[in-house]
Structure 1
Amino acid sequence: MGAKLNESASPATVRHRDDWAPRLAQLARLNRLEALLKQDAGGETAIAAAVERAVLLAALDRREEAKLAFIAILQKAPTHFSALNEFGTLLTEMGAIDAACRVYAEAILHHPQNPVGHVNFANLLLRASKYKEARRHYEAVLEIDPDHAPAHQGLGAVLADLGERDAAREHFRKGFRGRAISTLPYRGSAAPVRLVQLVSSGGGNIPTALFLDDTRFQTTVVVADHLEASEAPPPHDLIFNAIGDADLCEDALLAACHLTAAAEVPVINDPHAVMKTGRLANSEQLRTVPDVRTARTIVVDRSLLAGPGGADLLAGCGLTFPLLLRSPGYHTGRNFVLVQERGELAAAAAGLPGEALFAIEYLDARGPDGKARKYRVMMIGGRLYPLHLAISAHWKVHYFTSDMADKEDHRQEEARFLTDMPSVIGAKAMHALAGIRDTLGLDYAGVDFGLDSNGNLLPFEANATMVIAKPGPEPHWAYRHAAVERILAAVTEMMMAKAGATPLARAAGSAPSPSP
């Protein structure tokens, strides 16, 4: 087990000025490079200097200038590996994922034996859940270099997502051995809030990209379940436990509990509290919250459910059809099925990964129009913020597969939820949300839920792994932006306040006020 996180330095106070020493050093180096480039118009030395200059521009948060600089370099040297690779990195950071993929593909085409291009491209394929293509690139790297740590890390992530967790653990062991700590680039102009982010190697982590602003936070990522005793993170002001899935990340959460046991800085999302938010635990602990109806949930060996006596076993546990089966550790509807009748049970169980499955009571969350509704509310720093409402004709409701884009009346209903949540979901559900918030006891969490015909809250999921996703730029999503920005501002404000830094002003404008 790695060293405990016992940084005793006082919390940072952000200084809004431009004389921070590391930034001055970057600016000085940039000036020297620009002077050098004026003197030398060609050659490999000039290209290397130009690439370094473009990287520095990006590091100084001058990303559009950096983008133009890379384009200029590649016009002169279109196959230069460092220029292609660094440009791909910049495009990825800017969210231009398709363009980054094209640039990395070009780097691989001209430099097929360089493992870096393969790994960077595979990482983007993995983000898009293109597991087969990502796996091919990681394995190509390991043929070139069997000890290449980033390729082992990536291949482990692919296998973990595919349910091959024993094989994934072996690759994680090789990939993170002695490499469980990494510090991300910082682009601020003043002293940062130094943040340690605890993560799990096998997924189940809180998506933090939208609110971990790299001009405010200098983030050191610690893979908790692979931290060795010889490794210690740098001094820090705040710990963000981003390990969020209690069903998937038990080992990582236990490690995080050890790491934070004697921490002398604030900890966001105490791992002990996260460990109590698994689906089975929530079905029991949230049942006692007034105005909440939880689905009866049991864990059953998959082989038993796939056998001839599976339906009788469930009946003996009080479950009737239709019911839901789910593999632990998956989200966004993956490996999650509705079993309408007992004759479908064996095939459904056999088609899911994992040795054990959740068998879950089906609670009807359809409205008077026959459509299912799934509300998502974020719980940030003890306050409630509406994030979205998805309406669908299908029982499995996810925003990206719902009818929202095609139905103006659905969007109008969602807009009312975002601007006046209490009037839309009612007093009973608001009271239930406050009870769930208090029961979870997390700084950052969310709950997906429906409502029954009596206004009771039906929780589908309540934990820390909730994604805050920005809507697209299309005009029909304009009504959603204020609510999302308000939540992101609340997360940042909560983190800054925890670190003892200057709190941010709350988002202004027409965004709805959060509920207490």
Structure 2
Amino acid sequence: MTPAARTQCEAALRAVEAGIQSAGAAVSTELLFQRAVLLLQLGDEAGARSAYLDTLERDPDHPGALCNLGRELMRTRHHAAARMVLLRAVEKHPDDRDSRVALGMLLVQTGDPAAARAAFAQVLERTPEDAIAHTGMAFALARLGDPERAAEHRRLGFQNRSIIEQPYRGDGEPIRVLMLASANEANAPLERFLDDHTFQVWIAVTEFLDPQQALPAHHLVVNAAGDIDADAAAVRGAITLAARTDAPVINAPQAVARTGRCDNWRRLREIDGVLTPHAHTLPRGVLEGGDAVATLARHDLSFPLLLRSPGYHGGDHFARVDRPDELPAIVAELPGEQLIAIEFLDLRDADGKNRKYRVMMVDGCLYPLHLAIGHRWKLHYRSADMVDNAAHRAEDARFLADMAGVLAPRAMRALADVQAALGLDYGGIDFGIAPDGRVVVFEANATMIVPPPDADPRWDYRRPAVARIDDAVHRMLLDRAGRRQPAAT
């Protein structure tokens, strides 16, 4: 927000508050709503949420207050509350486009892509040209394993809006950031670190940006296009765009381009103390053919093995094939024309449990994020046996408090060498420890998230570790920006 715009907003807020005060108990709902809108524009998120609640106390079905409050709750990751508010909004105002789009985006974020698809379909039925609804529909279809239809909606969503300006609510001169992003969800989760009181952000959707289009002036480039397996075109576009500016770049796209699963298997296995499962990308037709088992054997892959569709995370479209006769049915269930076949390594410890560690790489340093423990082969922190197992949480806490002591020197050296080989400013490494002490790298790339722990007191021990990572990322962004004159291209 420019100083002139802020002055104008502040004057409008004073006028509205004077009107509220003079009206007393007879104050109109619209004045209360205007106050909430102005507070949000000025960056007072807590005050705005309170003002939206004041509006809803007067009119529980106010469409703007329900929609805006739902979006604020979604932005601050209060997903259950946001869902409740937005469901009420679309129930009471079924034709309200903004509420239905916000609900669809929330459903995508919270893992209900089928319901999200239905929400966006209702919007597009009324307004077929709605670019944001097309964008949301692309996200939903991609998660549902329909990449072809997702690509068409992605084109309709971004073809005429390849540079998207985000709101700035700070007081002084912002740090101007050009974020290079993929049009799908193959992005490093760096946007949440760019708070809108410090940074003014323009998102450049690299696949759809005209190479001749002028870029906004910026102090810093943040490359969020982080998954070469999911969206190679976005990473190639980011390489082209990064070459057009002399501003510092976080996560050089050339480094991201070398972090595909198969590339990681080939180069990280050369590091002393590192073991990587064999990984090969194969055409669907090969895996559907009569020679599939022989082809896998030629790549040193035997059963059980793992199959996954490129570009998906969180365990989506990822399966174990225990026997050759299971192969056809599992291949049929996975989306995409290419599939990654991965060696299955049984890393269960003496207690029969799997342990998967995650460390984050930030500006040349390693930070522990979590240790997931459970009996499943497909182990993720949210699905591991952590919530109701105090012993597992205690082991996780020891890892967070003393990563070097838990992992031992050989593993720490190996992780440092993996970080150096990847060359990422921000990213994560998911790994296990083999019986001989080697680090078994399952995945290492820029797209790994650092989710804040839930409010449950059981996760209080995790908060300092997450805060350290957040602080490290924020320091890196400020240090790299350096408050220099913005680059112009």
- Shared topology, TM-score over 0.5? yes
- Once the 2 structures are TM-superposed, how far is the Cα of residue 110 of structure 1 from its aligned partner? 3.2
CA shift, 1:377, in A, is 0.7
Change (3 A) 1:413 1:501: farther
Provide the residue aligned with 2:398 in structure 1: 416
In structure 1, the partner of 2:445 is 463
Q: Which residue of 1 aligns with 2:17?
A: 34
Once the two structures are superposed, residues 302-344 of structure 1 have per-residue CA deviations (whole angstroms, 9 ceiling, x without a partner) of 2322333211211122212221111111111111112222222
Deviates more, 1:175-184 or 1:384-393: 175-184
Distance in 2 between residues matched to 1:480 and 1:103, nearest whole Å: 29
Normalising by the residue count of structure 1, what TM-score does the alignment of the two structures yield?
0.89
Any idea what SS the aligned residue of 1:436 has? helix
The answer to whether the 8 Å contact 1:292/1:457 transfers is yes
1:340 maps to amino acid: D
Cα drift, residue 39 of structure 1: 4.9
3-state SS in 2 of match to 1:484: helix
Residue 173 of structure 1: SS of its match in structure 2? helix
SS at match of 2:274: coil
What is the alpha-carbon distance in structure 1 between the residues aligned to residue 99 and residue 192 of structure 2?
25
- Pairwise CA distance, 1:47: 4.2
Instruction: Please state whether the residue corresponding to 2:254 is helix, strand or coil.
Output: helix
Report the alpha carbon displacement of residue 211 of structure 1 after superposing the two structures with TM: 2.1
Read off the aligned partner of 2:300 and give its amino acid letter.
G
Report the AA paired with residue 449 of structure 1.
F
The equivalent residue for 1:137 is 119
Question: 2:147·2:336 contact (CA, 8 Å) conserved in 1?
Answer: no
Q: Identity of aligned pairs, percent?
A: 42
Deviates more, 1:157-166 or 1:266-275: 157-166
Partner of 1:251: 233
Report the CA distance between 1:216 and its aligned residue. Answer: 1.8
Deviation at 1:40, TM superposition (A): 5.6
35-44 or 216-225, larger mean C-alpha shift: 35-44
Quick check: 1:385–1:487 contact (8 Å CA) kept in 2?
yes
Are 1:234 and 2:230 counterparts? no
Deviations 1:217-271 (CA, angstroms, capped at 9, x unpaired)? 2222221112235754432211111111110110111111111102121110011
Q: Distance in 2 between matches of 1:262 and 1:209?
A: 22
Distance 1:441 1:139 in 2: 41
**Residue in 2 that maps onto 1:382:** 364
| 1:433 paired residue number | 415
Which residue of structure 2 aligns with residue 74 of structure 1? 56
* Residues 178/48 of structure 1: CA separation in 2 closer, same or farther (3 Å cut): farther
**Bigger mean CA offset, 110-119 vs 270-279:** 110-119
Matched residue SS, 1:466: coil
Match of residue 506 from structure 1? none
Give the distance between the partners of 1:164 and 1:351, measured in 2 at CA. Answer: 12
| Alignment of structure 1 residues 70-469 onto 2, 5 Å | 70-228=52-210, 231-469=213-451
Contact 2:32 2:54 in 1 (8 A): no
Q: Is the 8 A contact 1:210 1:488 kept in 2?
A: no
Cα distance change, pair 51–228 in 1 and its aligned pair in 2 (3 A): farther
Q: State the distance in 2 between where 1:340 and 1:108 align.
A: 45
Higher relative contact order (CA 8 A, sep 6+): 1
Tell me the alpha carbon deviations over residues 456-482 of structure 1, each in whole angstroms, 9 at most, x when there is no partner.
010000100111012222222221111
Residue identity matched to 1:270: A
Work out whether residues 284 and 336 of structure 2, in 8 Å CA contact, stay in contact via their aligned partners in 1: yes
How many residue pairs match? The answer is 484
Q: 2:18 and 2:216 mapped to 1: Cα distance? A: 34
TM-score with structure 2 setting the length: 0.93
2-structure distance, mates of 1:188, 1:497: 19
- Kindly state the Cα deviation for residue 102 of structure 1 after the two structures are TM-superposed: 2.6
Q: 1:289-314 deviations in whole A, cap 9, x for unaligned? A: 11111111111122322333211211
Query: Using the alignment, how far apart are the partners of 2:92 and 2:428 within structure 1?
Result: 45
SS in 2 for 1:263: coil
Return the alpha-carbon distance in structure 2 between the equivalents of residues 133 and 107 of structure 1. 16
Greater alpha carbon shift after TM alignment, 74-83 vs 151-160: 74-83
Match of 2:121, as an amino acid? E
In structure 1, the gaps of 5 or more residues are 1-18, 503-516
Secondary structure of the residue aligned to 1:405 is: coil
